Structure 1
Amino acid sequence: MTPSTISHADDLISIRDFLRYAVSRFEAENLFYGHGSDNVWDEAVHLVFASLHLPLDNNAIFLDARLTRSERELLLNQIERRVVDRVPVSYLTGEAWFMGLPFYVNEHVLIPRSPIAELLENSLQPWLGERPVGRLLDLCTGSGCIGIAAALVFPEAEVDLADISPEALAVAERNIHRHEVGDRVQAVESDLFEALSGRYDVILSNPPYVDASDLAAMPEEFRHEPVLGLEAGTDGLDVVRRILAEAQDYLTEDGLLVVEVGNSAPALEEAFPELPFTWLDFERGGHGVFLMMASDLRDHFKNLN
């Protein structure tokens, strides 16, 4: 910390003081919010309370608690890293939330924010119907948040978390242990389907889908995320094309494929005009997630041959 920052450790005493100071610093620096919060107040609350290992909800009782010198120096350092280095809060605290569940994260994985969480909260209804979920795949899993959340929604399912990155899989393994689902969930190092076998009732994927122009224009906060989890070629479809071509061989007869493609949705529809994409709507925001039946995939690629 700079000398001027160190002096603030004598001026700021309570959690309330640090929340006010964080909001002022964040507002003055025009930060980007999009890795777990969408406004300056929630960003400050998340950073301060998570850094102190205090609950994020129902925490008003702590607002006037006095902090130790080491706690004050920790918070000042966290605030400076958020402002100066533009490090997202979840990387500073090592924790992000997905579907109301906490997940360990570091800079080897994307920070969870997929609207697929809302789909899982509704147990994939009405799309799944009465079909049981025996096997489920979270493809390009990163932290494992989607697959682990799905395992908790479908307690009878066996779940594979697949990713090409060993570092990401180490994070996923840690989250498997954290949520005590190791008896049904395994992490698999695989370049998409390469190391996988058998068929799945459901495949969920939040793959890399950011096109070159969007990647170049992203706020600085995204530079801390692994480019492997974002970059997907000129049109953002390098990975999604492979998923569409190969998924039919790994889905059961009436299986479901759900893939997030974000801003690359128009490019995908242009590239595959014959495919019947079902684009999902979300009450809490989010876009560019499609659902497709295995039968539609098979019909499409059979007609191409």
Structure 2
Amino acid sequence: MSCLPNEAEALITVRDLIRWGASRFREAGLHFGHGTDNALDEAYYLVLRSLHLPFDLPAVYLESAVTPRERAAVLKLLRSRVTTRKPAAYLLGEISFAGFDFDVDERVLIPRSPIGELIERGFSPWLTAPPTRILDLCAGSGCIGIACALTFPQARVDLAELSTGALAVCRKNIARHGVGDRVRACRSDVYSGLGDARYDLIVANPPYVSAAEWKTLPPEYRHEPRMALEAGSDGMDVVARILEGAVDHLVPGGTLICEVGGSVEAFEARWPRLPVTWIEFERGGDGVFLIGRESLAEHL
């Protein structure tokens, strides 16, 4: 994909670049689902990030003219989104989650969980007291656990992750946010590397895509680690292990919050009588349940 010389020169303002990018994205039939859900928002995100501008930029600044150097950099980024089919976060090397920026690359799933909204609200109204020991299971980039640490300054947080590549990204983000005194990254296959540690709150965004569904995912998702997405014939293999071990790793009165995304039917087929609470979100997203330790102990 390229611009004719005169076409590129006609792209004068920030708004021109956003419009051009959105048109090319729609023309190429890109898929969106890693922070945006449409071509216009994706172009807006990439153009403003490339120009180091805030997303709450007053509309008048969209009419600002870009320099030739800026235009070249933006066009290169927009073209890369089309030709590589890589999600925007991988092209930029970072993404915002729960109000904080995190490093990401193709060793980790791109943060997009609605759990971010819960963290921003301090898990209100679901938690009656601030948690002091938190476990982020299947941590990936560490965004959930680190955002929790930044939200609850008194909390100590473990990031449990099996992938050594993902753990390297976790440690990068721990250093980025200066929380190394309270947050540790642990190589752990679910609970296997945690010993007898117990937590007030376990938060998990595990793989929950079925093997059949994974084969049908758009190209953008194929850039993400398969082990972060696919989990057996019904997508519930890792979720089952999380549920089975949660009682032994929660303190009395502790809480498990876990995402299963679009696999709610598969979850309810496996555990039809488990008394979970499905959380509703103001900004969209679903498939996140909450259950207390005592309910788990009674029903599993």
State the TM bucket, normalised to the shorter chain.
Answer: over 0.9
Please provide the CA RMSD for this pair.
1.9
Q: Say whether residues 1:208 and 2:207 are aligned partners.
A: yes
Aligned-partner SS, 1:102:
strand
CA separation in 2, counterparts of 1:187 and 1:20? 42
Which position in structure 1 is the counterpart of 2:155? 157
CA separation in 1, counterparts of 2:262 and 2:48? 33
Q: What does the per-residue CA deviation read over 1:177-226, in whole Å, with 9 as the maximum and x for residues that have no partner?
A: 22222221111111111111310000000000011232122222111111
CA separation in 2, counterparts of 1:166 and 1:52? 33
Q: Say whether residues 1:186 and 2:187 are aligned partners.
A: no
**Change in CA separation of 1:63 and 1:263 when aligned onto 2, cut-off 3 Å:** closer
Which position in structure 2 is the counterpart of 1:174? 172
Give the Å deviation of 1:281. 1.1
Q: How does 1:1-305 map to 2 (within 5 A)?
A: 4=3, 8-58=7-57, 60=59, 62-130=61-129, 132-197=130-195, 198-301=197-300
Q: What does the per-residue CA deviation read over 1:91-150, in whole Å, with 9 as the maximum and x for residues that have no partner?
A: 1111211112211111111111111112222222222113x4121000011111111111
Give the Å deviation of 1:64. 4.3
CA separation in 2, counterparts of 1:148 and 1:40? 30
CA separation in 1, counterparts of 2:69 and 2:188? 43
CA separation in 2, counterparts of 1:94 and 1:60? 26
The range that moved more, 109-118 or 3-12, is 3-12
Q: TM-score, normalised by structure 2?
A: 0.92
Q: Is the 8 A contact 1:253 1:295 kept in 2?
A: yes
Q: Is the 8 A contact 1:9 1:69 kept in 2?
A: no
Residue 88 of structure 1 aligns to which amino acid in structure 2? P
Aligned-partner SS, 1:21:
helix
Give the Å deviation of 1:248. 1.1
The range that moved more, 6-15 or 147-156, is 6-15
Give the Å deviation of 1:300. 2.6
CA separation in 2, counterparts of 1:257 and 1:165? 22
CA separation in 2, counterparts of 1:185 and 1:109? 18
Residue 194 of structure 1 aligns to which amino acid in structure 2? S
Gaps of 5+ in 2: none
CA separation in 1, counterparts of 2:288 and 2:278? 6
Q: TM-score, normalised by structure 1?
A: 0.91
Identity, % of aligned pairs? 52
CA separation in 2, counterparts of 1:40 and 1:247? 40
**Change in CA separation of 1:49 and 1:230 when aligned onto 2, cut-off 3 Å:** same
| Aligned pairs, number | 299
Gaps of 5+ in 1: none
Q: Is the 8 A contact 1:133 1:201 kept in 2?
A: yes
